[in-house]
A and B are shown apart, each in its own frame.
Chain A
Amino acid sequence: DQQVKQNSPSLSVQEGRISILNCDYTNSMFDYFLWYKKYPAEGPTFLISISSIKDKNEDGRFTVFLNKSAKHLSLHIVPSQPGDSAVYFCAATPRNYGQNFVFGPGTRLSVLP
């Protein structure tokens, strides 16, 4: 039973264009969401997060949107750069931070020059 889903295993985008990565979740107890970026043979690095009290959080080229009623969030990267090519994981956790993160399966983003 996958509580966090990333239905697109891969995505290819032209350099300079927008990359949109999607994530859906099923557990209504999830209250805090994060995006991690991972290069091969390296640990994930934190990218951006959003709390359920917000519907948008922006950090430079990265913006995360949260639609709580639809249990859907998305990560927008504008403009996309070749260095953004990586696997992106969506993660969710309940407000009780003693709980673990639940990770989605990841989306491999390829930004083509």
Chain B
Amino acid sequence: GAVVSQHPSWVICKSGTSVKIECRSLDFQATTMFWYRQFPKQSLMLMATSNEGSKATYEQGVEKDKFLINHASLTLSTLTVTSAHPEDSSFYICSARDWGGAEQFFGPGTRLTVL
């Protein structure tokens, strides 16, 4: 149980385009989902926290207009990287937590490469 999927697993796009990444909890209802970013050989950096049905809370330094997060249902959250630039190239990972749970279950990650 407690499976989280992400789609796509990798994406290559041109500079200036927008990319949408989906995060789904497959066998539980995720009241809270988190989006992380990981640069090579670095730790997971929390970008934002989203609770179902409400606006996401962004960490300091993360542009909310650039990284649009939607958590419209208890099993789906999306991260849209708008007007992507090469510096946005990274590994994006989502995680999900159900109501009352402490543990986060991570998706497999999405590798974004912006040319």
Contacts and interface: CB of A to CB of B under 8 A. Distances in A.
Interface residues of A, number: 20
Contacts of B42: 105
Secondary structure class of chain A's binding surface, majority of residues: loop
Interface string A72-113: 000000000000000001000100011011011110000000
B109 A49 contact: no
Main secondary structure of the interface of B (DSSP, over half): strand
Interface stretch (A13-21, A40-48, A52-60, A62-70): A40-48
B6 interface: yes
Q: Which of B97, B104, B107, B111 has the most CB of A within 10 A?
A: B104
B108 A105 contact: no
A42 B43 contact: no
B109 A42 contact: yes
